[in-house]
Amino acid sequence: MPAEWEEQEAVWLSWPHRKLTWPRHFRPIPRVFAQVAAIISCFEEVRINVPKTLNKKAYALVKKAGANMDMVTFYDHPTNDAWCRDHGPIFVKQKKTGTVAITDWKFNAWGGKYPHSSLDDAIPSHIAHVLKQKRFVNQMVLEGGSIDVNGDGLLLTTEVCLLNKNRNPDLSRKEIERNLKQFLGIKKVLWLGEGIVGDDTDGHVDDLTRFFSKDGILTAVEKNVRDVNYKALKDNRERLKDLRTLKGKPFHVVELPMPSPVRCEGKRLPATYANFLIINGAVLMPSFRQPKKDAEAAEILESCFPGREIVPIDCVDLVWGRGTLHCISQQQPAS
């Protein structure tokens, strides 16, 4: 599995239509997706799964957002929800030939939290068909947001998610690691602990800690000791001190501050700057209408990704659905 910063052919999105994902606040969401698609289209191709009945509306919104429509393709792939990071294919690449293929894992709506997921579970097979790419099927439950890789044999994940009995109750830690190694070309799995409050995925790592280079890791930290996320993020930061590269060296760890709490209808939401998306020539960063903290996060990301444009995108509306930019997208590596 290539690192996210490696050359990409396209980014996949799944068009939003399930109003219960953003209850009472769905109205702005399609426009947010259109804005994200338009920005990506300035850098690389955007491929969008969209139910046939919404194709015209999606096209109109993306065009109105200023997209380069020559770089946008819509596919008649019906979905249950919009979280392409988790239900989309996880692409792998053969280093010697550059051939790209699809790994297709079981998707069960984050441990059966939502009643319908069969359409989402079929997305990797649809994409493999239209791309004419080889598909490797694994019956282990795995969501793309639960893992992060450095493209050099290392994978980050969390115990609270991958070892959760609502995912793979019959698999041991060793068996889960074996699947990741065999299907994603991983040599070593690095385990973190708990996730952040408000995240209904059971602690996806893309809300917490991300690779920015083969031996560099960005990790979210909370400095307010009274904050509900303080303990979990501190524990993960401590764990990183003990983790090592394949050569036995410590990682270069960069701390990424958390935004001030974001709430809607009194509920704490999983707002985090760690849910950024790396694309060709840019990093799309979630922002939360907090000028000082947003700017600080952008500056840190700029230092970690020299030569890439940092593009803040307002995610205050989007995060009511319990995810932001990385959660709604899935990159397809270039062959």
**Cα–Cα dist 279/40, whole Å:** 8
Strand 154-158 relative to strand 148-149: parallel, antiparallel, unpaired?
antiparallel
CA distances from 213 to 10, 117, 306 (A): 21, 34, 11
**Cα–Cα dist 276/284, whole Å:** 6
Structure tokens at 273: 């700057």
Amino acid at 313: I
Active site residue 327: yes
**Marked catalytic residue, from 84, 161, 304, 327:** 327
- The separation between the first and the last C-alpha atoms of the chain, rounded to the nearest angstrom, is 12
**Is residue 152 classed exposed, middle or buried when 0-12, 13-18 and 19+ CB atoms within 10 A define those classes?**
middle
Angle at 243 between CA 239 and CA 248, to 5 degrees: 160
The answer to whether 45 and 13 have CB atoms below 8 angstroms apart is no
Q: Which residues are catalytic?
A: 327
